[in-house]
Amino acid sequence: MYEREPDQNSKPVLQVTGWKRVLFLILAAIFFLLGAAGAFLPGLPGTPFLLLTSYFLVRSFPSLNQRLLQSRLFGPILRDWQHRGGVRRDIKVKAIVIVVAAIGVSLWFSRDRLWLCGLMILLASIGIIVILKLPTLPDSEEGAP
């Protein structure tokens, strides 16, 4: 039911050319850096940035997107999104736990700066809402390739 085949019932992705191609590559690089940082920095969800990276690479440099899909670290998340239309529940849970833990530690060390605490809570809340809004793959498909 959730399985999506790229060749069936979907429009081909139009590739951009010229200055748009360069712009899309720059945007992909920025989102990739944010996504990679999110994989290693607690409090920054990387999944939405990786999805944006793939979006821009598919339209500008499909060969780079293929390399990203083959990555051991980022590939499974992107393949789930591209082929099955969602994010696995365990990925969402891990991302939310990391955000909450990082914000908790940050709040503990910055409790004297009330404005900073409020800003961190606001940004963490936005990140968690984004994670929760991403479609979740059903349990029966989590182990599927």
pLDDT tens track for 30-85? 999 988 887 676 667 777 888 899 999 999 999 999 999 998 888 888 888 888 88
Structural contact between residues 38 and 45, judged by C-beta atoms closer than 8 angstroms: yes
The helix/strand/coil state of 76 is helix
pLDDT tens track for 19-35? 999 999 999 999 999 88
pTM of the predicted model, to two decimals? 0.66
pLDDT tens track for 129-139? 988 998 999 76
Write down the domain spans for the chain. Answer: 19-141
List, as one string, the DSSP characters of 60-97. H-HHHHHHHHT-TTTHHHHHIIIIISSB-HHHHHHHHH
